[in-house]
């Protein structure tokens, strides 16, 4: 008897996991983080940390979820009964809550832009001013954030499997295609070369411990690891899938989308005279300007915003799903109600973040705006520490034979790769995270 829902196909799982991974992290956050942190040097460390630290953790989360077939807290309880390891999942749920509270704010910005692209007010505007105007408007940001959360709740309450699987099959390739068209336009703008150099030619003198911590946080953020979201998704995965391959497909796709986002944004930034280090508005300011340089630009911009909204929603589903899955336990009939309650609570918690570019712009937490403080707390503290404990859990707590067996399922044997991964998860990953983390808070 099947007691737990499952993805309907192999592609379904990869699409859902990639859907969780690919979202604002790659398309909105990566360009502005690279833009404010030295460009190529940030990109280089982001790639290295994704491959050598993020991907092994992704494999570890998949393993925990698939083996236990449980939600983020019960997975650890089942695998290590009577211990405190399930706090990893508990912390994951709390951080997911905070994450979605500000993620939905950016989701709301996309909706604002979408509305404007329909009315035509996005062509030939002063994009910098427009963006600042939108994010400072208290009613608009909160209403749009609310609509975004409602959309998220509506899908999650019905169970993520059906909706996401079907839609992802078409939307993700479409997003990819549009990015390629955009990249061509951006690269052929006059003066684009400076942007390519900015993205691809690292300046090692700009390297700091802070840059590496931010790149690490970015790697975890884009891969959706550290808060057991991927544990939850993999709990719906059947035993016949190869999780190692899935993890590398997700990581590879993710790097590719970040690269494409960078190759669209930076050439345009330099060619059109924008500032790479302007922060969270970068994509919202530069992209409409690129579309403005294209034939049928407003149509393309509309399509792009729909696809970006979709990519953002598929990530938001996964974040709400972890919270709902923990609350629902086995009482499926409560799912709808719990999705509404937790979704609306997340919205309320997110309102101050939404307002932090306008009415609350003076409020500072640890020297940052509310929005930035929430992001820093999740991306640079919650995700790295969560990932650290997940690596210790899999590396030292789980029995070796369980780990090896689970990873080998659906493969023809992993050979030397297994040993490399196991060594990484025991030594390389935890040491790397600890060093980067301690360095950046000044303890090392
Ligand atoms: N990976 C998502 C993105 O890049 C964000 C996310 C982080 C989702 C952590 C789930 C968990 O947009």
pLDDT tens digit sequence for 323-360: 999 999 878 888 899 999 999 999 999 999 999 999 99
Q: Which atom of ligand 1 is nearest to the CA of 21?
A: 1
pLDDT tens digit sequence for 388-403: 999 999 999 999 999 9
Q: Is 23 in the pocket of ligand 1 (CB under 6 A)?
A: yes
Q: Is 224 in the pocket of ligand 1 (CB under 6 A)?
A: yes
Q: Which atom of ligand 1 is nearest to the CA of 312?
A: 12
Compute the distance from residue 338 Cα to the ligand 1 centre, in Å: 22
Cα gap 263→267, rounded to integer Å: 7
Cα gap 282→415, rounded to integer Å: 44
Using CB atoms within 10 A of its CB, is residue 194 exposed (0-12), middle (13-18) or buried (19+)? Answer: middle
Ligand 1 atom 9, closest CA? 224
Q: Which atom of ligand 1 is nearest to the CA of 25?
A: 4
Residue 163 is predicted with a pLDDT of 62
Vertex 325, ends 321 and 329: CA angle to 5°? Answer: 170
Q: pLDDT at residue 1 above 60?
A: no
pLDDT tens digit sequence for 248-286: 999 999 999 999 999 999 999 999 889 999 889 999 999
Q: Is 233 in the pocket of ligand 1 (CB under 6 A)?
A: no
Q: Which two tokens stand for residue 172?
A: 């993700």
Ligand 1 atom 8, closest CA? 224
pLDDT tens digit sequence for 63-92: 999 999 999 999 999 999 999 999 999 999
Cα gap 262→272, rounded to integer Å: 15
Q: Which domains does the chain have, with CATH numbers?
A: 10-440 (1.20.1740.10)
pLDDT tens digit sequence for 286-307: 989 888 887 888 888 898 899 8
Residue 171 is predicted with a pLDDT of 78
Site to probe by mutation for ligand 1, drawn from 18, 22, 25 as the one with most ligand atoms within 8 Å of Cβ, is 25
HSE-CB of 169 using CA atoms within 13 angstroms: 11
2 — pLDDT class (breaks 50, 70, 90):
very low
What's the pTM value of the predicted model, to 2 decimals? 0.93
Residue 301: C-alpha distances to residues 103, 282, 350, 360, 413 (Å): 21, 16, 27, 30, 46
pLDDT greater at residue 423 or residue 237: 423
Q: Is 20 in the pocket of ligand 1 (CB under 6 A)?
A: yes
């Amino acid at each position: 008897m099947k007691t737990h829902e499952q993805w309907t196909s192999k592609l379904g799982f990869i699409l859902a996991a990639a859907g969780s991974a690919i979202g604002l992290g790659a398309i909105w956050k990566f360009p502005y983080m690279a833009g404010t942190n030295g460009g190529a040097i940030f990109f280089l460390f982001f790639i290295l940390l994704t491959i050598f630290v993020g991907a092994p953790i992704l494999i570890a989360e998949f393993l925990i979820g698939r083996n236990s077939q449980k939600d983020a807290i019960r997975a650890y309880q089942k695998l290590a009964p009577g211990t405190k390891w399930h706090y990893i999942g508990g912390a994951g749920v709390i951080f997911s809550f905070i994450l979605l509270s500000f993620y939905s704010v950016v989701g709301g910005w996309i909706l604002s832009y979408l509305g404007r692209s329909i009315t035509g007010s996005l062509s030939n505007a002063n994009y910098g001013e427009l963006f600042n105007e939108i994010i400072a408007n208290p009613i608009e940001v909160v209403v749009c954030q609310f609509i975004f959360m409602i959309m998220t709740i509506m899908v999650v309450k019905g169970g993520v499997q059906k909706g996401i699987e079907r839609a992802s099959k078409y939307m993700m390739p479409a997003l990819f295609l549009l990015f390629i068209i955009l990249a061509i336009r951006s690269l052929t703008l006059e003066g684009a070369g400076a942007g390519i150099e900015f993205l691809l030619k690292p300046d090692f003198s700009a390297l700091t411990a802070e840059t590496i911590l931010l790149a690490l946080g970015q790697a975890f953020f884009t891969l959706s690891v550290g808060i057991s979201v991927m544990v939850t998704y993999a709990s719906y995965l059947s035993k016949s899938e190869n999780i190692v391959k899935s993890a590398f497909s997700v990581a590879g796709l993710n790097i590719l989308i970040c690269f494409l986002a960078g190759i669209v944004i930076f050439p345009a930034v330099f060619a059109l005279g924008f500032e790479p280090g302007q922060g969270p508005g970068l994509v919202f300011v530069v992209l409409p300007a690129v579309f403005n340089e294209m034939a049928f630009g407003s149509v393309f911009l509309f399509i792009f915003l729909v696809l970006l909204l979709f990519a953002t929603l598929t990530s938001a589903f996964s974040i709400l799903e972890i919270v709902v899955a923990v609350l629902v336990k086995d009482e499926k009939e409560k799912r709808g109600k719990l999705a509404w309650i937790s979704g609306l609570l997340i919205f309320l918690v997110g309102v101050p973040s939404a307002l932090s570019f306008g009415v609350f712009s003076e409020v500072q937490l640890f020297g940052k705006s509310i929005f930035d403080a929430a992001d820093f707390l999740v991306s640079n503290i919650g995700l790295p520490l969560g990932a650290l404990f997940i690596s210790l859990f899999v590396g030292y707590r789980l029995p070796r034979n369980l780990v090896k067996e689970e990873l080998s399922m659906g493969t023809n044997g992993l050979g030397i790769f297994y040993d490399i991964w196991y060594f990484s998860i025991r030594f390389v990953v935890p040491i790397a995270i600890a060093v980067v983390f301690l360095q950046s808070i000044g303890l090392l």
